[in-house]
A = this chain, B = another copy of it.
Amino acid sequence: MSIQEQTPVTDPQTDTATAPEPTAPQGVREAVLAAASAARDAQPALARLTRDRKDAVLLAMAEALVARADEIVTANARDIEAADAAGIEAGLRDRLLLTPERVGSIAQQLRDAAALPDPVGEVVRGSILRNGLELRQMRVPLGVIGMVYEARPNVTVDAAGLALKSGNAVVLRGGSAALHSNTALIAVLRSVLAEQGLPEDLVIGIDEHGRDGVGVLMTARGLVDVLIPRGGAGLIARVVENSTVPVIETGTGNTHILVDASADLEAAADIVVNAKTHRIGVCNALETLLVHRGVAERALPLLAERLAAKDVTLHADDTAQEILAAAGTAARVVPATSQDWETEYLSLDLAVKVVEDFDEALAHIRAHSTGHTESILTRDLESQRRFLAEVDSAVVMANASTRFSDGGEFGFGAEIGISTQKLHARGPMGLPEMTTTKWIVVGQGHVRP
């Protein structure tokens, strides 16, 4: 499954991200905590299911979604109507829209999840201690996962499917703009759970409580085991800064490529164009290009020409501007400001900087990267070694497009997000990252001497 498209523009749901959290009305508070508590109570029933049973549930859900596609599309039409009335931007509208074909694709995500190996029960380590105690460290579900995302109904089903497959109950909060779509989708999933003799509250939506509901969910410590925000930087910042529930931070990618002095320039042009333009609204798209001074005069005009053909605007530092001007480039070039080094454009814009040497490149990345993905294009062994060793990002690459930083490309089969934090999971997260472990110790009357 491919990486999620992000929202490049400010979204009404997230634009007050850094404001202090308001206190939610008591009714919302009670309702959301009751939902989290219900999910928590439901989860043990799922934790005990075999893989065969879990897969059967996912396949039944896929079938029910297809069977009830009309109902889902009708609910979605209400969201689309409201969005159109509010003058929604075309990209956001497209992500919100469901058709019978799209419902079919969503159902297929569940079949794909069913086909993946079950992470639960995997013995990660094990031994018999010298005193005879038998020790095993085994993967078990996290418990209750809270997913907070934007108005993308496919995420509702994808997140629920991956959570269930890994033995977790899930509390879902999609964007308010998708309220009717999400409600319809969740109703289908819950009815299948009931048919299969499982608690409906394994999948529970809190969209009707709006932004306040997220605030309560973030404080449901002891009821929710982990919160995973997926979406724009504002949403993620709000959750990371205010949550007392542990959070896995995902997705913000201010991604760099360094064209080293020794780079193969034709290959470099292919990779830079691919990284920037293959898909622009995703977190592994290229945002800042660093070019080594030693190759800048040859590299920049070539790169600019190839990028101009794809309609990319270059936000260039002084040296890059001079070189491009001297070469008479056809590319659209604007002066870079300090803000450009921090920006995840998610658009046909690219920051460009000429670095005097390798150390300046590393220092720039250290100062401005979000720790998602960086790549070096080089033919020099020592440059490659140092870059891979010294750049402290979730994914470090040599001679490859940043677009490969993706759970699907890594062979995980599914991806719940890309973690840019260092605890628990770093980089693309698949099903094993949705589990924890427990230690199982079996003795025969052992006491400590």
Contact = CB atoms under 8 A, between A and B. Distances in A.
Nearest to A432: B125
A271 interface: yes
Given A399-B442, A423-B424, A426-B436, A411 B129 contact: yes
Contacts of A271: 445-447
Q: In the assembly, how many copies of this chain are there?
A: 2
Interface stretch (A6-14, A84-92, A210-218, A389-397): A389-397
A448 B248 contact: no
Contact of A427 (B274, B275, B439): B439
A57 interface: no
A398 B441 contact: yes
Interface of A: 44, 47-48, 127, 129, 133, 135, 137, 140, 142-143, 225-226, 240-241, 244, 246, 248, 264, 267, 270-271, 273-275, 278, 384, 388-390, 392-401, 403-405, 409-411, 421-424, 426-428, 436-448
Given A133-B400, A270-B445, A389-B48, A439 B246 contact: no
A384 B442 CA distance: 9
B142 A409 contact: no
Contacts of A275: 447
Contacts of A422: 142-143, 225-226, 246, 436
A426 B139 CA distance: 11
A394 to B, nearest CB: 6
A323 B188 CA distance: 53
Given A441-B405, A443-B398, A423 B423 contact: yes
Given A270-B447, A424-B424, A426-B439, 11 more contacts: A47-B392, A127-B411, A133-B400, A143-B422, A271-B445, A393-B438, A396-B440, A397-B443, A398-B441, A423-B423, A426-B438
A405 B270 CA distance: 54
Contact of A395 (B411, B426, B439): B439
A392 B426 contact: no
Nearest to A249: B246
A392 B143 contact: yes
A134 to B, nearest CB: 9
Given A135-B410, A438-B426, A441-B400, A448 B390 contact: no
